[in-house]
Amino acid sequence: MELVTISRVFSPADADLTAARLESAGFTPFVHGVEAALSVEGYSMVTGGIQVKVPADQVPEARRFLEEDPDTDGWDAQFRAVYDRALASFRAGRCSVATLCDPADTTFLRESGCTVQELYDFIEDAEDAGEPDFETVLEVQRLRRAWFLGPMRGQWTGTVVPMSDLPAKTDAVDGIAWLPRLIVKARLKLRGEMPPDLMYGCGGDRPFLRRMGMTLPGFLELVRDRGDDDRAIVEAVKAFRHRGMSRD
């Protein structure tokens, strides 16, 4: 069977999302080149990216489908509108998870792999601490959404991991405190299994990642791409920290 590339992306989650959209429309997608696209810094454009392919006889219709059904741009604008309405509610004194969003926005968030609690936490910190900014929130939620709609096929696991299962804030690996806890938090964020009292990107995460020379979206991408390989994550964080110290 001859396969033809109809899309090139540069992360496994984006490839899975594209493949899931094609499959839901009745096509037969295949994903090739994930390992070849990996590099020390993340993803290398020179490898040609990760190819999403379909059988040759499906190419015209599949290309037409992708062209006529653009995904991320429309979602970005919708998410911005939901965020702005939630921010206005917060500033108007509706400062609780129960009152932050109307039912339609709550549904939009849930179908995007996000809870009102998560949006509330981002907005509360932005108002109280001046961060994270909207662009950071958008990128974090875009990564979660790609994982939710791609590998998770738009299904919540129904699991909420208790706070007691997380490593302590003082737990360390290779002398780096906070990192074991943050690795677990990032995995829970990707899977949508965060307990209500836990926030990915909290007032402890942000300064920690700045010290490591990383960002909230960047760390989430790292954990996504390294999977369950804790040692690979730790070594990558140490490499980021070293490069940051070298620039100073």
3-state secondary structure 90-103: HHCCCCCHHHHCCH
DSSP class of residue 36 equals H
At position 2, the amino acid (one-letter code) is E
Residue 29 clears pLDDT 50, i.e. is over it: yes
pLDDT at 46: 41
Integer CA distances (angstroms), 54 to 15, 150, 246, in order: 13, 17, 45
pTM metric for this prediction: 0.74
Confidence band, pLDDT 50/70/90 cuts, at residue 40: very low
Instruction: Return mean pLDDT, the chain.
Output: 88
- At 70 the pLDDT is 55
16-20 contact pairs (CB < 8 A, 24+): 16/146, 16/147, 16/150, 16/151, 17/71, 17/146, 17/149, 17/150, 18/52, 18/66, 19/52, 19/150, 20/149, 20/150, 20/153, 20/154
- List, for residues 68-127, the tens digit of each pLDDT value: 765 544 788 889 999 999 999 999 999 999 999 999 999 999 999 999 999 999 999 999
The beta strand positions in the chain, using DSSP E, are 3-9, 30-32, 38-39, 42-43, 50-55, 172-173, 176-177
Q: Is 173 helix (H, G, I), strand (E, B) or coil?
A: strand
User: What's the mean pLDDT in 40-59?
Assistant: 68
Question: Which residues, 6+ apart, have CB-to-CB distance to 103 below 8 Å?
Answer: none
pLDDT digits (tens, 9 = 90+) for 199-209: 999 999 999 99
Instruction: State pLDDT tens for residues 141-190.
Output: 999 998 998 888 889 999 999 999 999 999 999 999 999 999 999 999 99
Q: What is the pLDDT of residue 35?
A: 67
Query: What's the CA angle centered on 216, arms 165 and 101, to 5 degrees?
Result: 80
Euclidean distance between CA atoms 220 and 77, whole angstroms: 22
AA identity, residue 139? E
**3-state SS assignment for residue 3:** strand
pLDDT at 136 > cutoff 50: yes
